[in-house]
Amino acid sequence: MNRTLRLIKRLKKVELALARFYYKLLEDSSSTVFYLYNLFSFTVITLSVVLILLDFFREIPEPIKPITDRIVDFATAIIIFEWVGRFILASDFFDDLEINYFKYGSLRLALKKALRPKWEYVKSFYSVIDILSVLYIFQPLRLLRIFALLRVFRLGFYRFLLEGFVTVFKENLTQLAFLVIIFSIFLLVMSFWIFNLEHAANEGINTFFDALYFTFISLTTVGYGDITPVTPEGRMAVMLTVAGGVGLFSLFTAVMSSGFIEYLERIRSGMIEFKTLKGHIVICGWNETGKYIVKEIKENPKLFRKHIVVVTEEVDESIPKECFVKRGDPTKEDVLLSVNVPEADLVIILAEKKEMLNEDTIDARSSLVALLVRSLAPRVFVIAEYLKEENAVAARKRRLANKIIIAGEYLGKIIGKSVIQPKSLEVFEELLEDVAMRIYPVKEFSDRPITLKELLERLGYLKVVAVYKGRKLVVVPPLSMVLQPEDEVVVLDEAREV
């Protein structure tokens, strides 16, 4: 059993590394990489849909057919790549496998239980669309190529990009309208000029519409080659047209790019609301402790995929880039609603120090935020930090938060212990930095009462260091202790040298 568990443990590390990689590309909307990759993916897949449609309704010319086929195949590779990523992100397979193996002692049954969330993903709408849209790559299924058109439905993955485009377009409507007017004037002027220069000598330009078509194609730098200028003056006009087209499209690209950069910066600086977030973590206030909290969350295999929103009146440079920031006063109800606190999984209230505010006032603000969170989201788990012990004691009596921590309290205790036993500091450092500590309900391993000794025989390399019996914590429990299914065990990963 131990050998199987150790193999599962190694595979968990591989799965976690892949999950972090795919999360950064496919889900981490606080990352620039996420937007760049999804813009690229959206462009390629949209282009492939257009090319497949053209191939169905109008045969693509042979000279460019190999190129269009490569584009479609590349889009297919992206779809497969993303399907694999979302399959990995659908659940923590090896973690579920480990828990179920502990519980049932049967690898076959554990596999069946762990595969259930994966199967749910495989049956989901977008998964089925992806599978059908790539089946034609297998030679016996070439007749199913029509299903490749189904990939148009997966563009729903990129609705956030479309929303961004619409927002940027609306905000830059004046500049874009000006560019459209300039483009139209330039197109008409060059069309008249080319018509006057070419219509007498060029068989391809017999009407003004021919000149308009030729100028538009040249202006967009496409140049099909079906019409070419024959006079020196006409060629000069076409050169100016192409140069003007490059300049105008560069201006258009610059306007849209700067608009997108500004849009992303507003998200980063807290000017955008996050009402669509669910299951996220909200940090109210900010201080030097915050960056360590974010670091621990992002390094945790269970929590790293959760979005973190920091609510603060002053955006601090020390706020990690992995966080969204909402600029506002967390003591205001509308600010907390704007980050969808009722749908959050966790709210952390930090003692944010400000000029002209003493410690009692800062703690009073923490209490006010806690009261407001409780009224908006009674079931959300709340952790609050206080500066003064007497204020923390009062908050505990009023049950303002699930957990109340006094700033510097634990640090002082650790330093005090290390004065008495200097080597104990190494133990504390190891526990805080490297040892994986997890809490499991006993019912995950047994549906009936079980002794700690029996549980340890099932757990293999995991070590039980404490037991929660209701609200009571028992540290280093005796082997004879009887555990109920509703109890919880605190376990450490396998022992190792420091």
Concatenating the DSSP letter of every residue in 413-477 gives HHHHHHHHSTTHHHHHHHHHHT--EEEEEGGGT-SS-EEHHHHHHHHTT-EEEEEEETTEEEES-
The whole-number pLDDT of residue 121 equals 92
78 — phi, psi (to 5°)? Answer: -65, -40
For the purposes of burial, counting CB atoms within 10 Å of the CB of 230, is it exposed (0-12), middle (13-18) or buried (19 or more)? Answer: middle
The packing angle between helices 173-198 and 232-268, to 10°, is 170
What are the mean pLDDT values of the chain's consecutive 10-residue runs (498 residues total)? 75 91 86 82 83 75 83 88 93 86 80 92 86 70 54 59 74 86 90 86 84 83 70 87 86 83 67 77 92 88 88 85 87 92 95 87 94 93 93 92 85 73 70 69 84 79 80 86 89 55
CATH 3.40.50.720 spans which residues of the chain?
281-407
CATH 3.30.70.1450 spans which residues of the chain?
413-492
Q: Which CATH number describes the domain made up of 413-492? A: 3.30.70.1450
Q: Which amino acid is at 160?
A: F
Q: Quick one: tokens of 239?
A: 């050169």
The whole-number pLDDT of residue 141 equals 47
Q: SS3 for 483?
A: strand
Q: Which CATH number describes the domain made up of 172-268? A: 1.10.287.70
**Residue closest to 311 by CA, chosen among 343, 347, 278, 360:** 347
The whole-number pLDDT of residue 495 equals 44
The whole-number pLDDT of residue 372 equals 95
- Cα–Cα dist 22/84, whole Å: 9
110 — phi, psi (to 5°)? Answer: -65, -40
Q: Which CATH number describes the domain made up of 281-407? A: 3.40.50.720
The whole-number pLDDT of residue 385 equals 93
Residue 393 belongs to what H/E stretch? helix 389-397
